[in-house]
C-alpha cells in the first residue's frame, strides 16, 4: 500500500514530526546525517562499516565517524572490531536504538494524523 500525500501534507507531516522531536525529553534531536546513518543501520541488511555507510549515503568517512561518535554516546549504535579482519570496525544496533526508532515511528504516525 502506498501512502499518497500532497506536498503541503508531506511538509506538514515532517513539521509535526520534527516539532515533536525537538521538544521531546525522551527523544534525541538528531541531525539529518545522524538520522540517515541510524536508519540505514536499522533498515538495511548489514554488516555495516564506516566505509560502507559513507558509500551508501554518498558522504565522507569523517562525517560518518563524527555521527557515529554521537550515536555511540547516546547508546543508539555501537562499534566493534571485526574479528575476521581487524582493520574493519562494524556498526551494530542496540536495544536503546531500537527503542528510539520505535518511539520515532510512533511520533511519525501520530504526526500523520495531525497533518
Reported as a single tens digit per residue, the pLDDT across 24-76 is: 766 778 999 999 999 999 999 989 999 999 999 999 999 999 999 999 999 99
How far apart, in whole angstroms, are the C-alpha atoms of residue 78 and residue 3?
A: 33
- Residue 64 domain-assigned? yes
- Residue 48 domain-assigned? yes
- Residue 78 domain-assigned? yes
- Residue 4 domain-assigned? no
Q: What is the pLDDT of residue 19?
A: 87
Domain count, the chain: 1
Residue 35 carries which DSSP code?
H
Give the CA distances from residue 55 to residues 17, 60, 77, in Å, rounded to whole numbers and listed in that order: 28, 8, 19
Pairing mode, strands 48-49 and 89-93: antiparallel
Residue 100 carries which DSSP code?
H
We report the CATH number of the domain holding residue 107 as 1.10.10.10
Share of the chain above pLDDT 70, in %: 96
* Helix locations, the chain, DSSP H: 7-23, 32-43, 50-57, 61-73, 95-114
Parent domain of 63: 29-114
Is the per-residue pLDDT at 20 higher than 80?
yes
Amino acid at each position: 500500500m502506498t501512502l499518497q500525500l500532497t506536498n503541503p501534507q508531506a511538509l506538514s507531516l515532517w513539521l509535526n514530526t520534527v516539532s515533536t522531536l525537538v521538544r521531546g525529553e525522551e527523544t534525541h534531536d538528531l541531525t539529518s546525517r545522524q538520522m540517515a546513518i541510524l536508519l540505514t543501520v536499522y533498515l538495511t541488511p548489514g554488516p555495516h562499516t564506516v566505509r560502507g555507510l559513507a558509500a551508501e549515503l554518498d558522504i565522507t568517512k569523517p562525517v560518518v565517524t563524527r555521527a557515529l561518535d554521537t550515536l555511540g554516546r547516546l547508546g543508539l549504535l555501537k562499534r566493534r572490531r571485526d574479528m575476521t579482519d581487524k582493520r574493519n570496525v562494524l556498526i551494530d544496533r542496540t536495544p536503546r536504538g531500537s527503542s528510539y526508532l520505535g518511539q520515532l515511528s510512533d511520533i511519525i504516525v501520530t504526526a500523520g494524523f495531525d497533518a
